[in-house]
Chain A
């Protein structure tokens, strides 16, 4: 990325002169025509040079499903983002492991978000959402990202970890630091600040681990679940793996739902006809939640590495090549989704989107994410006739997290 130059003309520039990893495309939300061209002209495209090294882009829905479900040929190791792991701060996490090790570590924690547990969490989430919405400054313009989206997801994360509630803003800070490294996603975190933050995360959770071990906790929080499973019960002794998995669970439960909680407000404001449909029939909320998650695609990509020389859609991919599945492009693929650029809250088959990924790494918390967003919108519709966007959002500079830093809004009570 060269900050001094403009992004190239999406229609006239030869494909080999476009850097599809340029995080400014996401900062400016201008990526659509570039990736539409890839889907049409070169759906499996090799880029020889980038700040993240050479990589393949896979951009059509069906091709992404094919790569995502073929974990033999397309490994998740050593990392699932476009940037390579840092040598001075290696992190091991189960999303970046292949079966069978992946399966063992994931199984240890996934019951925390099993729908049976979610049913018990529903009333807690609803009372928190209600408190957040009831305290919004009616009549003022405020930042929806801070007041609602971050507030809601951080409270949820603190509950999942049974993390000290009054210190919960640390979770958000660590999450942001984890994903915002320039070499990982083109973000703008200062490397030293990031290292300090992640080491603080490790030290804090190591303390919690030992306290909880001593207390013989009978809870169902993520730390207790890791301690209870023989495959992960020693994880705190391996800081690389402990910190890696903590960050995975923190980022997984944070950035994604947070940015969908903001994206939904933006999408409804850009599509007032859909907002009218929602007011006329709040029963559309579950279907709208899936549509918001598709439309937002809060994680733009996942990356794999080819385990052998192979041919894929006519392209010769070599062993070791980096393969990036652009989820936000798959979710705009007109070959698989009707009218994909439109936001349609009563879309037929709204669950058929790619935001959660497919295959063994499919999002573990997908039902929790849907539940949080459903409750959020149920409670919004009980209180406000309109959450009005007052100015353009400020987006995150990252080719991984498709998110927002600010969305100025005003709420209009019923």
Chain B
């Protein structure tokens, strides 16, 4: 149960006891964290669970796949540390991870 902090665009932080083995998106949705829409339900198909990882956590989150890259490429606010949270599986190694949410999902 790693503790992960999700920070809204306005700076409000939410720390959750995340469940390892589930995606970061599902952890956020099931804890009612605002700022992640996840319209497609986790199929890497809509781009509305976009998050920014603090740089030191990029390695722990693993590589993005080509479809995720293609979806992120559509985002006007994409950064190098952009990920789709439905493509990140939470692991115990993510204890203390900080995730920031974009201004909007589209």
Q: Which residues of A contact B (CB under 8 A)?
A: 65, 68-69, 71, 99, 103, 106-107, 110-111, 113-116, 349, 351-352, 356, 358-360, 362, 366-367
Contacts and interface: CB of A to CB of B under 8 A. Distances in A.
Chain B, interface residues (CB within 8 Å), range: 20 to 34
Nearest to A103: B73
A360 to B, nearest CB: 5
Nearest to B29: A349
Contacts of A111: 76
Contacts of A351: 37, 39
Contacts of B44: 69
B70 A99 contact: yes
Contacts of B40: 65, 352, 358
Interface of B: 37, 39-41, 43-47, 67, 70-71, 73-74, 76-77, 103-106
Given A110-B76, A114-B76, A351-B37, A359 B45 contact: yes
Main secondary structure of the interface of B (DSSP, over half): loop
B104 A114 contact: yes
A359 B71 contact: yes
A68 B70 CA distance: 13
Contacts of A71: 70
B70 A362 contact: no
A366 B106 contact: yes
A86 to B, nearest CB: 29
A115 B103 contact: yes
A99 B74 CA distance: 11
Nearest to B48: A351
Contacts of B104: 114-116, 367
A379 B39 CA distance: 26
A352 B42 CA distance: 10
A360 B74 contact: yes
**A-B residue pairs, 6 tightest by C-beta:** A115-B104, A358-B45, A351-B39, A69-B45, A367-B106, A111-B76
A71 B46 CA distance: 14
Contacts of A99: 70, 73
Nearest to B73: A103
A92 B73 CA distance: 21
Given A103-B74, A114-B106, A356-B39, 20 more contacts: A65-B40, A69-B67, A103-B70, A110-B76, A114-B77, A115-B104, A115-B106, A349-B41, A352-B39, A356-B46, A358-B40, A358-B46, A359-B67, A360-B70, A360-B71, A360-B74, A362-B46, A362-B47, A366-B106, A367-B104
